[in-house]
Structure 1
Amino acid sequence: MLYNAYELQRTMLSGAAAWASVGAEILTNPKLPMGYFGFGPIMASALDVFAHATMSRGKPEFDIEEVNVGGKVHGVTESIVLHRPFGNLLRFDHAGLPADAPKLLVVAPMSGHYATLLRGTVARMLQTCEVYITDWADAKMVPADAGHFDLDDYIDYLIDFLHHIGPGAHVLAVCQPSVPAFAAAAVMGKHEDPCRPATLTMMGGPIDTREAPTSVNDVAMNQPLSWFENNVVATVPLTYPGAGRKVYPGFLQLAGFMAMNLGSHMMSHYGMFMHLVEGADENAAATKAFYDEYRSVCDMTADFYLQTVEHVFQRHSLPKGEFVHRGEVIDLAGIHDTALLAVEGEKDDISGLGQTKAALHLAHNLPDERKKYYMAEGAGHYGIFNGSKWRNRIAPVLEDWIRQHQRKPLKIVA
C-alpha cells in the first residue's frame, strides 16, 4: 500500500505541477503586462518554485560533453562497456588522454540516487584518467525474473568490473560503497587476483560506524532489523517492469535526507523564489540544477538494503572480522599491496570523522607507506566529491596518490 499511495500522490502532484508551470509561463510572457506589475512577478515565481518542487523526475543524463585539459578542450566519449541486470559499467574517455593514462573505476553509491550524482567527480577525474563508473539500475525497473541482488552480488559486480577493466586499475568508492569495495579488495588480494586494484580511495565511507556516529547511524541502531523490514520495505507496483520485487523506495531515502536538513532546504527554495522575483535567473538555475539531481531517486533491492543496515550499521561485521562473502569470512589481511587513501570531510554529518579512517588500521598487513589519510577542512558530505573543494583540494590529492602507485599494465594469459 505504501508504494501505491506514493504513486497516487505523485500522479496528483504531477498534474498540479504542470498547471503551475503553465501559469508561471503565462505570467512571465513578455507580451502580457500582468507580469510586470503588482503581484505578477511574485505569483509567477511562486508557481515556478512549486512546479519545480513537485514535478516528476526520471533518470538524469551525465551530459559530460567536453573536458578542458591544459587549456585545450577535448570531446568526451561515453559508452556502456559491460551490461548487467542491476548495473552497467560506463566508460568516459577523450583524445587528450595519453596511452598510459590511469584507469579509474568510480564506484557510485547504491543509496537512492543515480550515479549521475557523481557527475562532478567524473568530470574532474577525466582530466587525467580514463574513468569508469558503476551505473546502478533502479530496482523497480529490473524485471523480477532477473533474480535478486544483495551485498554478495554487489561485491561480485565490482570484481567482474575490475576484471573487465584489467590489471593496474584504481578504485574510488564514494560513501556507502566503501564497505563492499574494501571487501572486494581484500578478497582479490587474498587470492592474488592480477586485477586487484592498485589503489583504493574511500571517501566518506561507513567502514566502522562506531566511530563518531551520526544521526544516520543512530536511526539504524535504534530499531531492530525487523522494524526496517516491516516499515520501509515496499512492493513495486504493477506499472513497473520490476512488479512484485521487494525494494527500499528511493522516495523514502530522499524524505529522510530532506528531513535531516529541512531548514536548509526550505531556505534554499526561499532563496530560489527571491532570485526569480528579482530576475536573477542564473542563481535560480543553479539551485534548480542541484535539486533536479537531488530529487532524482531510484529504488534499491530490499535484500541489499536490509543486509547493509544489518552488517554495516548494526553488527559492524567488517571491522569485527565477521563479514562473510559467499560463505567465506573476509580476511582484511588480504590487502597487502593495494594502496589505501581515506578521505573525510570535516563537517560530514552522514559519515562521521574516523569512520573511513578506520580502514587504514584494519588493513594491518599493508605497509604504512601505502596508507594515507586526508581530512578536507570545511567540507560536508557532498563537498568531498562535488564542488570547488573537491575540484581544487581533494582531487589533486587523489591524482597524486594514483601517480605514486601506478602499476604497469600486465597482460592476462588465458
Structure 2
Amino acid sequence: MLYHMYEATRMAIMPWRMGAQAVRNTVTAPWSPLSYTPLGKQIDSAAEMFERVTRRYGKPDWGFEKTVIDGKDVAVEEEVVIHRTYCSLVNFKRDTKTKRNDPKLLVVAPVSGHYATLLRGTVETMLPDHDVYVTDWTDCRYVPITADRFNLSDYIDYIIDFLHYLGPNTHVLAVCQPSVPALAAVSIMSGWGDICAPASMTLMGGPIDTRRNPTAVNKLAKEHTIEWFERHVVTVVPPPYPGMGRRVYPGFIQLTNFISMNLDKHMISLNELFDHLVQGDEEEADKKKAFYDEYLAVMDLPAEFYLETVETVFQKHSLPKGEMMARWNPVKTEQITRTAILCVEGELDDISGVGQTKAALDMTPNLPDSMKHYHLQKNVGHYGVFNGGRWRREIAPVVKGFIREHDHELGGKARKVHAIAS
C-alpha cells in the first residue's frame, strides 16, 4: 500500500505542477508586465522551485562526449559490453589515435537508491588515465516479476563475472556500499587462485565493519529486527510499471532518509537556489540544479538484496567476523595475498564512520604491508570522498598513483627502472 499511496500522491500533485508551469509561462511571456519586475521574477522562481521539488526524476545520462588526454580533446563513446537483468557493464571508450597502455578500471557503483551516474565525477576524473568500466544498475520497478531474484550473493557473482570478462591485471574501485561485496568477491577469487583476481582494489567510504565508530545509519539498523524492516520499508511495485508485483525497497524511502539526515543543509541549499534564480545568477543556479537533478533521481532496490545487506553487513557483521557466505563459498579475507588494497575515508563522513573502511586492512593479515595503503581525507563528508574539488585535487591523485604502482605491467616497469637507477 505504501507505494500505491506514493503514486496516488504524485498523481494528485500533477495538476498543481501543470499550474505552476502555466504560471511560469504567463509571468515570463514578453507581453506580460510582470516579466520586467522583481515580483515577476520571484513568482517565476517560486513556481520553478515547486515544479522541481515535486518532479519525479528519471535516470540521468552519463553525458560524456569527450575527455582530455595530454592536453587534447578525445571523443568518448558509451558502450554496453555486458547486459544482465539487473546490471549492465558500461565501457567508456576513448577514441585515441594511438594505442594506450592505461590500466583497466572496474568502478563498482552502489545499489543504495541512487543511479550509478552519481559517480559521474568519479568516472570523469579517472577517464583520462584509465580504461574505465562501470556497473550500471537497473531500477527494479522496471524488472518484471518473472525475472530471477537478486540478492547479495548475486551481486558478488556479478563482480566476479565482470572481472573474468575483463581478465587479469584489472583494478577495482568500489564506492560506499559495494565495498563489502567487492571485498567478498576478491576474497573468494583469491581462495580459488583465480588469475583474474584484480591487481588492486580501492575501497572508498564503505561499511566493511560498522562496529567501528558507528553512525546514525548503523545504529538505526541495529535498533530494529530484520522483520521490522521487511514490514515497514519493503513494499510492492504497483501498476503500470513493468515490475508490478515485485517486492522492493523503494528509492523514494531511501531519498527521504537521506534528506532527513541533513534536512537543515538541504533547506539552506534550496533557499540559495531560489535566491540565485531571483537574482539571475545562472551559473550558480545551474550548479545547484545539476546536483539536485542527480540527487533526487532514485531507483528501487530488490527487497531480497536490501534485507540481506542490512542483516549481513549492519546487524550480524558477518564479513569482519569471518562468518560470511556467498552461495556455497566461505568469504575469508585472509586469503587475499596478491591484490593490493587502498582504503579511503572522509573525516566528516556521517554514513560510513572513520575506521569502518580501514578495517579491510586489518582483515587481510597475509597481504604484505607494502600492498596496503590508507588515506584519510580531511574536511570532507561521504559525498566528498568521490565527488567534488577535494576528490579531484587530493584524493584522485592518491588513487591513480596507487593503481599505477600496483599495475602488473606499469608498476613492474616502474620498479625495474627504480632498481636499475639504484
TM value normalised by structure 2: 0.95
Secondary structure of 1:167 counterpart: coil
Give unpaired runs (5+ residues) of structure 2.
Answer: 411-422
Where do residues 379-390 of structure 1 align in structure 2 (5 Å cutoff)?
379-390=380-391
- Assess, with a 3 A threshold, how the Cα gap between structure 1 residues 334 and 15 changes in structure 2: closer, same or farther: farther
Question: 1:76, 1:365 → 2: CA distance?
Answer: 40
Instruction: Judge which range, 102-111 or 34-43, deviates more.
Output: 34-43
Deviations 1:318-352 (A, max 9, x none): 00001011123211112111000000001111000
Match of 2:125 in 1: 124
- Assess, with a 3 A threshold, how the Cα gap between structure 1 residues 369 and 236 changes in structure 2: closer, same or farther: same
- List, as ranges, runs of 4+ consecutive aligned residues in structure 1 with deviation greater than 6 Å: none
The yes-or-no answer on 1:151 pairing with 2:152 is: yes
Question: Aligned residues: percent identity?
Answer: 51
Q: Which amino acid aligns with 2:305?
A: F
Question: 1:234, 1:45 → 2: CA distance?
Answer: 36
Maintained 8 Å contact 1:13/1:55:
no
Q: Which amino acid aligns with 2:315?
A: Q
Match of 1:164 in 2: 165
Instruction: Judge which range, 69-78 or 398-407, deviates more.
Output: 69-78
The yes-or-no answer on 1:195 pairing with 2:196 is: yes
Give the deviation of 1:152 after TM superposition: 0.5
Question: 1:125, 1:31 → 2: CA distance?
Answer: 49
TM value normalised by structure 1: 0.97
Match of 1:412 in 2: none
Match of 2:357 in 1: 356
Match of 2:247 in 1: 246
Question: 2:200, 2:187 → 1: CA distance?
Answer: 12
Q: Which amino acid aligns with 1:35?
A: S
Secondary structure of 1:318 counterpart: helix
Match of 1:2 in 2: 2
Question: 2:292, 2:38 → 1: CA distance?
Answer: 29
The yes-or-no answer on 1:320 pairing with 2:321 is: yes
Deviations 1:197-219 (A, max 9, x none): 10000000000001111111111
Question: 1:204, 1:52 → 2: CA distance?
Answer: 30
Give the deviation of 1:38 after TM superposition: 5.4
Q: Which amino acid aligns with 1:134?
A: T
Maintained 8 Å contact 1:384/1:390:
yes
Where do residues 15-414 of structure 1 align in structure 2 (5 Å cutoff)?
15-37=15-37, 39-96=39-96, 98-408=99-409
Deviations 1:240-296 (A, max 9, x none): 111111100000000000000001111111111111111112211111111110010
Question: 1:53, 1:71 → 2: CA distance?
Answer: 39
Give the deviation of 1:69 after TM superposition: 2.1
Question: 1:57, 1:83 → 2: CA distance?
Answer: 23
Maintained 8 Å contact 2:347/2:378:
yes
Q: Which amino acid aligns with 2:348?
A: K
Give the deviation of 1:30 after TM superposition: 3.6
Secondary structure of 2:24 counterpart: helix
Maintained 8 Å contact 1:57/1:296:
yes
Maintained 8 Å contact 1:93/1:126:
no
